[in-house]
Amino acid sequence: MEQEEDTGPEVGFSLATLWSWGLELMEQHSQSTMLLGIVTGVLLALALIGTTIIFVYRRVSQFRQVQPSPQYRFRKRDKVMFYGRKIMRKVTTLPHTLVENTAAPRQRVRKRAKVLSLAKRILRFKKEYPTLQPKEPPPSLLEADLTEFDVKNSHLPSEVLYMLKNVRVLGHFEKPLFLELCKHMVFVQLLEGEYVFRPGELDNSIYVVQDGRLEVRVQDSDGTEVTVKEVLAGDSIHSLLSILDVITGHAAPYKTVSARAAIPSTILRLPAMAFQGVFERYPETLVRVVQIIMVRLQRVTFLALHNYLGLTTELFNPESQAIPLVSVASVTAGKAKKPTCCSLEERPERPPRPQEPCIPADRGGSRTAVCGPLPKRSHPVLLPSVHEEVVDELSQAQASIQASSAPAGATAGATSDLRMVCDRAWVPPHSEERPGGAVASKPRKSVVVAETPSAVLPNSDSTLDESVASKKTDSILRAATQDLLTLMKLDDPSLLDGRVTLVHVAGGTVVLRQGDQDTSILFVVSGLLHVYQRKIDSEEDTFLFMARPGEMVGQLAVLTGEPLIFTIRANRDCSFLSISKAHFYDIMRRQPAVVLSVAHTVVRRVSSFVRQIDFALDWMEVEAGRAIYRQGDKSDCTYIVLSGRLRAVIQKDDGKKRLAGEYGRGDLVGVVETLTRQARATTVHAIRDSELAKLPEGALNSIKRQYPQVVTRLIRLLGEKILGSLQQGAAAGHQFRFHTVGGKWDSGNPASNLSTVAVMPVSEDVPLTAFTLELKHALSAIGPALLLTSDSIKQRLGSAALDSIHEYRLSSWLGQQEDIHRIVLYQADCTLTPWTQRCIRQADCILVVGLGEQEPTVGELERMLETSAARAQKQLVLLHRQDGPAPARTVDWLNMRGWCSGHLHLCCPRRVFSRRSLPKLVELYERVCQRPPDRHSDFSRLARVLTGNAIALVLGGGGAR
């Protein structure tokens, strides 16, 4: 127990000693406590970081081992592809000489070929298809020429150049004729405010501004003068109707129009009498100039004001223009007193409905209806069978004349003007002459279509009454013909022999309809003919004027060759003399001056308002590439496209130019900017030679003051433009054409409203004739289409039609074809001939046709096209057989040629690739055209694309939004 007690104090002593030592040690190192803690914390942190790195490294290593990289994994098809390529490489790299020169058996060679073909079939390698190279449109497509009628760089004096520019409105004058006119030019210096002419002075000159600025002013009904037009250097002041008055010997003074100098100016004065000396030496030129004036009056003045501003009765003078029927009055003076035409009520009547018994007599396109209760012997409208007989004889006479006069090159220049006039009017030249007799003098049947066909045959019970009526009718015919000779101022009475027919119609008969192409000159003998015109916004007809006994009607359409612009009805029984278009041109060939008296009757029917507007309206001929205005210019006029095509280009802030739209025949250009008085938003230039009507802002304001109803029409135009912009975007809208009420205005689709399409082949292997015939058949479902080739032009206009001397004649005839047909196809030759150049020049769009099954290539003709400054858009068309391979290598076709606006693949029927001679091919398509085209065919699709009638349906994807 004592020992344990002794050990207890020892242990306690030792613990106390250790504790004391610890305390002493702690006391000694109290200063380094903080440093030790920091070191300990750092060590622990390092240990934790190291542990984390090791853990992450291990996890990453395990993940890589579990999921190896896919680039080292080979699929079965990849292995097959690899070994297949290896086999083919070995087979194809064997030298051909080794196969030919070794003694290896043929079986080995066959096996090698089989292995190669089998590998190609099985493997089907994926080729790396070429990518489409982005191409910008050529500069000629979006840029206008900078040399806009450059006077400084011309070798001609400015006065001659300006006069040449303004006389072109009367047509193309040969150099001797133009120099003859230049001899009569007179220089006039004007001070500011000095008048060129005033009301009361004789209207007998053309004024061309050489330097300065003139103002054309018109007196309103209250006597105030309003400026309707500003004339700058190079422009002119003239009225074609006044020139026609001077030529016809009926010069009149200015009534409400005056012109004065806004600043000191120099003008050129060309007396209209200078044209008389030229016309006396060249009578055929007189006929052409009169026809051009009449064409402008109908197309520019009447149709433009009617279709776009809604004017109807304001354009015509309703007063009587009749001459006294002295001869007819002397014949009827001894007859028993009967109610005559003069006792009828001469008040406008609403057009009655056509009577059912009236039987229309089709006369080659016109819809003349000849009705009557009893058959009357006269020289009336022919039955269709008789008419066809005469037409056949006329065509035979034309063929014989052309065959006999083909080598006569010396007289070609002298008669070219007359032939051009006949071509415009669709009249065969020299139809009254043929060897062995004259068609006009051949005895013809005298028949009248009555209510029943049996009425045409003579009735045995009424032979005596018929003979009395025949004598009476013959006497009236001779007397009325004598009065017509007086009105037409014909020197030779025999010119009307066999060419005048006396027609009796019953009340309610529609004699001629608006839009008829084959018209006649009607000279009223008894009764009244009422003239109506269809309103532009409704189906209602508006009464214009009445043709009384002693007046002519229908002569404007005969002179111009254009469709009739109004409908002629007989609301009461009426008798009139009728001269067909062909017979009138027969008379004109023998006495060209007859056009003066007939044209004067047209001018007398024109209202005073039209005479005023004729001074303000300008008829412009714009060459291809010329700009009619540029972006940022002042908007001071509106343009109407009469023929040709214009393109609008907008320049962005970054300097890049973009196609904004195109304008075709009948489109209004710049009307919105003019009405809103904003600067031009685009630059508009001519794609090809075009004819425009220019309506100044001042003239438009004058029209609005005189006829407030025009404002309603303009508001509607603006409303449709704004609505079109909201529905279809800023580039969409509406325009108004001659033949329809509505259409596109600012054309957002460049392919719409095309009038002419040129077709050229890539190579001679392309069946171009069959392609154009097939396309024409498809276009016939949309509207009248015409196909022109070099052979058809030479057959129609003569072998020298493509010569430069006949430039105006050919251009005028082609322009008329564009007016008559919805679209005209120009089939180019396989080489760069004058006809091919004409096709490119006339084209709104060029179709380059190739064979899809052949190797992609660029033809020699297309290379020449790309080097030239052609402004028409170009589309590539590839033809494919029905049982041929699918379309391929389209990118190669596009990459190897210049910019194309589009491309199409067409699956063609077998007849397109049939090897037939040209006559048999034409005969085949004559039978094809008797059937309606298949609207589901690719050619019908191409026809819809060209005419702007294609509709795309998108059922999904981004295009459906």
Look up the CATH number of the domain holding residue 813.
Answer: 3.40.50.300
Spatial CB neighbours of 915, under 8 Å, sequence gap ≥ 6: none
Q: Give the tokens for residue 276.
A: 């008389």
Task: Tell me if 759 sits within 8 A of 827, measured CB to CB.
Answer: yes
What 8-state DSSP symbol labels residue 853? T
Does 311 fall in a domain? no
The Cα–Cα gap between 659 and 872 comes to 13
Q: In terms of domains, do 944 and 800 share one?
A: yes
pLDDT of residue 889: 87
pTM of the model: 0.68
The Cα–Cα gap between 915 and 827 comes to 19
Question: Any idea how long the chain is?
Answer: 961
Q: Is 125 exposed, middle or buried (0-12, 13-18, 19+ CB in 10 A)?
A: exposed
Q: In terms of domains, do 811 and 849 share one?
A: yes
Q: Is 153 exposed, middle or buried (0-12, 13-18, 19+ CB in 10 A)?
A: exposed
Q: In terms of domains, do 699 and 783 share one?
A: no
Q: In terms of domains, do 731 and 621 share one?
A: yes
Does 41 fall in a domain? no
Q: In terms of domains, do 851 and 816 share one?
A: yes
Q: Give the tokens for residue 608.
A: 């005073």
Q: Give the tokens for residue 745.
A: 């205005």
CA 135 to chain centre: 27
Most distant CA atoms of the chain, gap in Å: 194
Q: In terms of domains, do 837 and 955 share one?
A: yes
Helix and strand numbers (H, E) in the chain are 31, 32
Amino acid identity, residue 824? V
The Cα–Cα gap between 206 and 163 comes to 10
Task: Tell me if 94 sits within 8 A of 88, measured CB to CB.
Answer: no
Neighbours of 921 (CB within 10 A): 18
Say whether 719 sits in a helix, a strand or coil.
Answer: helix
pLDDT of residue 869: 66
Task: Tell me if 253 sits within 8 A of 201, measured CB to CB.
Answer: yes
- CATH number for the domain that contains residue 709: 2.60.120.10
Phi, psi of 611 (to 5 degrees): -65, -40
Q: Which domain holds residue 104?
A: 76-123
Task: Tell me if 773 sits within 8 A of 832, measured CB to CB.
Answer: no
Query: Which residue do the tokens 């007086």 mark?
Result: 486
pLDDT of residue 142: 81
Q: Give the tokens for residue 743.
A: 């259409």
pLDDT of residue 146: 60
Among the three residues 753, 771, 789, which one is the final residue of a domain in this structure? 753
Does 368 fall in a domain? yes
Residue whose C-alpha is closest to residue 328's, from 527, 488, 466: 527
Does 318 fall in a domain? no
Q: In terms of domains, do 664 and 793 share one?
A: no
Residue whose C-alpha is closest to residue 625's, from 150, 178, 14, 63: 150
Among the three residues 84, 100, 123, which one is the final residue of a domain in this structure? 123
214-219 and 433-434 strand pairing: unpaired
Among the three residues 85, 107, 123, which one is the final residue of a domain in this structure? 123
Does 737 fall in a domain? yes
CA 388 to chain centre: 33
Task: Tell me if 788 sits within 8 A of 824, measured CB to CB.
Answer: yes
Could you report the average pLDDT of every consecutive run of 10 residues in the chain (961 residues)? 49 64 66 75 87 86 61 68 74 52 62 72 63 80 67 63 69 69 85 91 89 89 84 86 87 90 91 81 79 82 79 88 84 54 39 38 37 34 34 39 35 50 57 36 35 35 61 85 90 88 91 88 93 83 91 90 88 92 89 90 90 85 87 89 88 85 84 86 89 87 85 76 55 34 40 84 91 93 91 86 77 80 91 89 91 89 79 90 87 88 90 88 90 91 88 71 54
Residue whose C-alpha is closest to residue 417's, from 301, 588, 603: 588
552-553 and 567-570 strand pairing: unpaired
What is the count of structural domains for the chain?
Answer: 4
Q: In terms of domains, do 909 and 954 share one?
A: yes
Beta bridge partners of 523: 552, 577
Does 951 fall in a domain? yes
Task: Tell me if 946 sits within 8 A of 757, measured CB to CB.
Answer: yes
Q: In terms of domains, do 806 and 731 share one?
A: no
Does 545 fall in a domain? yes
Residue whose C-alpha is closest to residue 660's, from 751, 736, 725, 748: 748
Q: In terms of domains, do 554 and 668 share one?
A: no
Q: In terms of domains, do 647 and 556 share one?
A: no
Q: Give the tokens for residue 740.
A: 């329809």
Q: Give the tokens for residue 456.
A: 């045409």
Assign 3-class secondary structure to 620-651.
Answer: EEECCCCEEECCCCCCCEEEEEEECCEEEEEE
Spatial CB neighbours of 553, under 8 Å, sequence gap ≥ 6: 521, 522, 524, 529, 531, 547, 568
Q: In terms of domains, do 819 and 903 share one?
A: yes
Task: Tell me if 774 sits within 8 A of 939, measured CB to CB.
Answer: yes
Does 189 fall in a domain? no
